[in-house]
Amino acid sequence: MSRYLGPKVKLSRKVGVPVADIPKHTSKRQLTTPGMHGFRGRRQKDYGIRKDEKQKLRFHYNVLERQFRRYLEAAGRRPGNTGEVLLSLLELRLDNVIRRAGFSRTIWGARQLVVHGHVKVNGEKVDRPSFSMSIGDVVTVREGVQKLCREQMESIPGHQVPGWLAVNPAELSAKCVANPTSDQIPFDVNPNLIVEFYR
């Protein structure tokens, strides 16, 4: 399966918000658009605004377009607001749970931990970053990478663990205790604009 291998900061510049919570992405200099004065051009039309919201979500969760459409279709089949269900499905991806727990600083690092087979869910090895967590599932990391995960946790001062996740730093484990809600998403996004984009 293909994935984006280019410069990651370009993604933050493209959508105008930090895709990862690391200094390289959050600095003001990096978020300005390219050009002499950060020239944006004409005011965006409705299509451009909706497309940027969609791209912001895709880049944040490191999901390709076809996979993102499948998540949207799955959200449409479930009861409730499609946009909020979509956010909940994306938050419950295994690579995102690793990032939210603080075991990795970025989604790309969390994805690598999972793909290399360093992560267990309920005691069984899982090597798919898109694995969907359920309430009651417990994530642990192998002993070989525990030192790395502790260093990652210490390098994120003031990291806030969301309320739907219970993290045990001593054992380096995280338990999914509830379904995430849209107000627990740590960045601004309007899911309704994304649903409108695909209609």
pLDDT tens, residue by residue, 157-183 = 777 888 899 999 888 899 999 988 888
Decide if pLDDT at 11 tops 60. Answer: yes
CA-to-CA separations, 84 to 79, 178, 180, 191, 197, in angstroms, rounded? 10, 15, 9, 7, 15
Write down the CATH number for the domain with range 91-182: 3.10.290.10
What is the overall mean pLDDT for the chain? 84
- Asked if 172 contacts 103 with a C-beta cutoff of 8 angstroms, the reply is yes
Which pLDDT score is estimated for 9? Answer: 78
Domain ranges of the chain: 91-182
pLDDT digits (tens, 9 = 90+) for 79-117: 988 989 999 999 999 999 999 988 988 889 899 999 999
Percent of the chain with pLDDT over 70: 88
